[in-house]
Amino acid sequence: MTDLSGPAGRRPGFALHRVEAFSDAVFAFAVTLLVVSLEVPRSAQELFRTLWGFPAFGICFAFLGLIWFDHHSFFKRYPLTDLRTLVLNMVLLFVVLLYVYPMKFLFTLLVNGVLLKQSVGALNSVAETKTLMVVYGLGFLTVYAVLFLMHLHAWRQRGALGLSPSECLELAGRLRRFLINGAVALLSISLARFTSDAGSLAGWTYALLAPAQVANGAFTRSRMRRALAAGEAGLAAD
């Protein structure tokens, strides 16, 4: 049986630029779904109501940009086009499109309804609030679970990819980052599902991401510096 796997997991017929082009088109469509309004305002009041939607749009755009950056960085560093990578990539794009509407609704409600005191579609009960936080958390968890699986596959292919020790440490740091995101999402989902809190505690759980990721970044950089120093010492000894 012919082995279709080429160097670094490349497969005949699957060009990397086509994978990235299709993925970018899907991300662009997801941004389109975030747009506050597709119609030009016909009055000053409509214009003002539309402008109130831009803070929430900006937050959602930033989150979507972070996901796109992780996706772009993966294919830039690990140019894999084997079947498993392609399937995981398609799953990621599918989840991103599903994730857009819960994310847009949540941040529109948060920014416009809570911070700016504007009239938005309300949540009618505690149960609806808890369900919204669970749905958002599941989307967040799934996105980073798929990114974790993609990077785990790259880790298993690190020999074929020719990754240096420093690059392997960087990849390990990325895997830890996605695990942290997933753990925080699971904690938020659990709080929303199994506590009497209306959802605020589940929402504030995501504030744990900042210190946890800063600590992970510092740990990863420290290990990379030690690896580089050990490599330079070995060269000097030779």
Smallest CA-to-CA distance from 53 within 129, 123, 121, 135 is with 121
User: What are the residue boundaries of the structural domains of the chain, listed by start?
Assistant: 10-122, 126-238
Task: Using the structure block, give the residue that is written with the tokens 């009618």.
Answer: 124
What confidence score (pLDDT) does residue 129 get? 84
What confidence score (pLDDT) does residue 126 get? 78
How far is the C-alpha of 13 from the C-alpha of 159, rounded, in Å?
23
Answer yes or no: is pLDDT of 175 > 60: yes
Could you tell me if 201 and 195 are in contact, meaning their C-beta atoms sit under 8 angstroms apart? yes
Per-residue pLDDT tens over the stretch 40-58:
667 776 666 666 678 888 8
Smallest CA-to-CA distance from 11 within 66, 96, 120, 84 is with 84
Smallest CA-to-CA distance from 222 within 173, 159, 189, 178 is with 173
Query: CA-CA-CA-CA torsion for 93, 141, 171, 87, nearest 10 degrees?
Result: -30
